[in-house]
């Protein structure tokens, strides 16, 4: 199986960014609708209902999507065999997670019967969402970034259209919100039908795929990473109350807007570095990503200070400082996030996993201490510390095991700012850039 050469890295990042931007924009548009329709407590219930589902689809992949990407990009094994093995792993892990979430629903809902039913309902979408993720990994290994972007655009468009329709008819409830969030995570997979039906030339590749071994090494870190980013919303309700969770959920929704570029760079760099590892390219991508992310954080922070209470209602004004703290957490963790992709691409996912496990353990411990004391502020502080630990441990691992200069991840150059500007301009349609 042949893959496209990663020479058009900037173009791939731009395409991936547009795809990643769609669900974020939809989340930003629909978040005020949910907040004003459900109120603070109702928004907290919706977050509690969907948190186990969102946690599961990130935590039980067994590293299979990334393992598929790595083996396809490296040219190890037969492509269709790799895909089928990966999907089999996802099917088994997904079924196990579905049963586990339903069994734990009463505990996670703090005895609330209606919330327990919503958690169980969302859990039914875990398996199909995981399978779509596996196919997405296959497309990434083939450098099919336009197809991946199309999948995300379809998902985002359907979610937006459905929520707007429910809002127009006054039918937004925790139940309808749960169905939309869980169900729309699957439908975009329809765009991969053509890819799966196409024969790719030269798919008798060399070597024996060690899909499960590589995936497990990566999965440990993925679980820790999901815990680092999602477990706070899972624990706030039992540690505090629904109002605190509602405030924090809104802050997370706004702050995660700036993750778009980081996520795109990380995905493309992982696929490109899997084909051919280049330390200079990796560190340059990290610096450019950090510059763009920091710029976005400044913009989002400034706008949210004024717009967030207006969009979400005055009851959510407390989410503004929480948002600013979370924006800072994302920026300081950005270099290490790209470094983690470099570790995975060099065939050493276990090193990144060690970093993430250390950070997740510290984060969870801090949540139990800080949330009862400071509520949503405590959760944000725990996130900042966790991101710093995870990111800079990744950089240290790359330096110790692969001799990648640690300072190059944060030693910014004048040319980096020019590249960052060019990267941002790539997101603007060509006809507008000419004006």
- The domain locations on the chain are 6-428
User: What is the reported pLDDT for 203?
Assistant: 45
Buried b / exposed e over 304-317, threshold 16 CB at 10 Å, is beeebbebbeebbe
Q: Higher pLDDT residue, 427 or 57?
A: 57
- Point out which residues pair with 76 in neighbouring strands: 206
Residue 435 pLDDT level (bands cut at 50, 70, 90): low
Q: Note the pLDDT tens digit of each residue in 224-264.
A: 877 787 788 888 888 888 788 888 988 998 898 888 888 88
Residue 209 pLDDT level (bands cut at 50, 70, 90): low
Which has the closest alpha carbon to 107: 221, 237, 16, 19? 237
User: What is the reported pLDDT for 367?
Assistant: 94
Query: Does the pLDDT of residue 9 top 60, yes or no?
Result: yes
Q: Higher pLDDT residue, 89 or 431?
A: 89
Q: Note the pLDDT tens digit of each residue in 102-154.
A: 999 988 887 888 899 999 999 999 999 999 999 999 999 888 989 999 999 99
Residue 2 pLDDT level (bands cut at 50, 70, 90): very low
Which has the closest alpha carbon to 105: 94, 93, 121, 84? 121
Query: Does the pLDDT of residue 200 top 70, yes or no?
Result: no
Rounded CA separation 286/331 (Å): 11
Rounded CA separation 16/130 (Å): 19
Q: Note the pLDDT tens digit of each residue in 410-429.
A: 999 988 898 888 777 766 55
Neighbours of 103 (CB within 10 A): 11
User: What is the reported pLDDT for 4?
Assistant: 45
Rounded CA separation 306/320 (Å): 9
Query: Does the pLDDT of residue 208 top 60, yes or no?
Result: no
Report the alpha-carbon angle 361-370-297, nearest 5.
80
Burial of 74 (0-12, 13-18, 19+ CB in 10 A): buried
User: What is the reported pLDDT for 75?
Assistant: 77
User: What is the reported pLDDT for 429?
Assistant: 53
Contacts of residue 200, defined as CB under 8 A and 6 or more positions apart, other chains included, come to 1, 2, 79, 142
Q: How does DSSP assign 228-253, residue by residue?
A: HHHHHHHHHHHHS-HHHHHHHHHHHH
Rounded CA separation 316/116 (Å): 26
**How many Cα neighbours within 13 Å face the side chain of 123?**
22
Query: Does the pLDDT of residue 5 top 50, yes or no?
Result: no
Rounded CA separation 207/74 (Å): 10
Instruction: Give alpha helix (H) positions in 188-318.
Output: 193-196, 211-239, 242-255, 259-275, 279-312
User: What is the reported pLDDT for 201?
Assistant: 46
User: Which range has highest mean pLDDT (5-14, 190-199, 220-229, 304-313)?
Assistant: 304-313
How far CA 176 is from CA of 46, 182, 308, 400, in Å, comes to 10, 10, 24, 50
User: What is the reported pLDDT for 210?
Assistant: 76
Query: Does the pLDDT of residue 430 top 70, yes or no?
Result: no
Contacts of residue 9, defined as CB under 8 A and 6 or more positions apart, other chains included, come to 268, 269, 272, 281, 285
- In the predicted model, what is the mean pLDDT of the chain? 86
Largest CA distance in the chain: 60
Residue 68 pLDDT level (bands cut at 50, 70, 90): very high
Rounded CA separation 163/169 (Å): 10
User: What is the reported pLDDT for 257?
Assistant: 83
User: What is the reported pLDDT for 326?
Assistant: 96
């Amino acid at each position: 199986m042949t893959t496209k050469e990663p020479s058009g890295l900037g173009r791939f990042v731009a395409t991936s960014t547009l795809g990643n931007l769609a669900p974020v924009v939809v989340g930003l548009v629909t978040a005020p609708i949910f907040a004003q329709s459900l109120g603070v407590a109702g928004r907290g219930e919706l977050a509690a209902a969907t948190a186990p589902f969102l946690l599961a689809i990130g935590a039980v992949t067994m590293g299979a999507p990334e393992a598929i990407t790595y083996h396809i990009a490296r040219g190890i094994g037969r492509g269709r065999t790799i895909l089928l093995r990966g999907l089999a792993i996802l099917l088994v892990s997904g079924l196990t997670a579905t049963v586990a979430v339903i069994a734990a629903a009463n505990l996670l809902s703090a005895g609330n019967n209606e919330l327990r039913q919503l958690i169980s309902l969302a859990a039914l979408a875990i398996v199909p969402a995981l399978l779509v993720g596996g196919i997405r990994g296959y497309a990434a290994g083939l450098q099919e970034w336009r197809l991946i972007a199309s999948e995300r655009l379809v998902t985002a468009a359907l979610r937006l259209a459905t929520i707007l329709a429910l809002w127009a008819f006054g039918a937004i409830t925790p139940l309808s919100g749960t169905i939309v969030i869980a169900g729309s995570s699957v439908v975009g997979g329809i765009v991969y039908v053509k890819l799966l039906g196409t024969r790719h030339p030269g798919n008798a590749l060399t070597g024996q795929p060690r899909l499960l071994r590589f995936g497990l090494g990566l999965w440990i870190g993925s679980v820790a990473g999901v815990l680092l980013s999602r477990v706070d919303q899972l624990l706030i309700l039992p540690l505090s109350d629904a109002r605190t969770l509602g405030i924090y959920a809104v802050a997370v929704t706004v702050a995660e807007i700036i993750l778009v570029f980081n996520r795109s760079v990380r995905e493309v760099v992982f696929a490109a570095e899997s084909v051919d590892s280049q330390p200079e390219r990796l560190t340059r991508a990290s610096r450019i990503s950090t510059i763009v992310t920091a710029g976005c954080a400044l913009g989002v922070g400034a706008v949210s200070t004024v717009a967030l209470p207006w969009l979400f209602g005055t009851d959510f004004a407390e989410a503004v400082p929480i948002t600013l703290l979370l924006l800072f957490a994302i920026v300081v963790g950005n270099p290490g996030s790209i470094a983690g992709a470099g570790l995975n691409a060099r065939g050493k996912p276990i090193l990144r996993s060690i970093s993430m496990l250390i950070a997740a353990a510290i984060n969870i411990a801090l949540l139990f201490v800080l949330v009862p004391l400071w509520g949503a502020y405590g959760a944000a502080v725990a996130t900042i510390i966790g991101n710093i630990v995870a990111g800079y441990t990744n950089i240290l691992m790359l330096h110790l095991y692969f001799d990648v200069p640690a300072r190059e991840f944060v030693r910014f150059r004048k040319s980096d700012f020019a590249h960052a500007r060019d990267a941002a301009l790539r997101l603007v349609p060509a006809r507008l850039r000419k004006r």
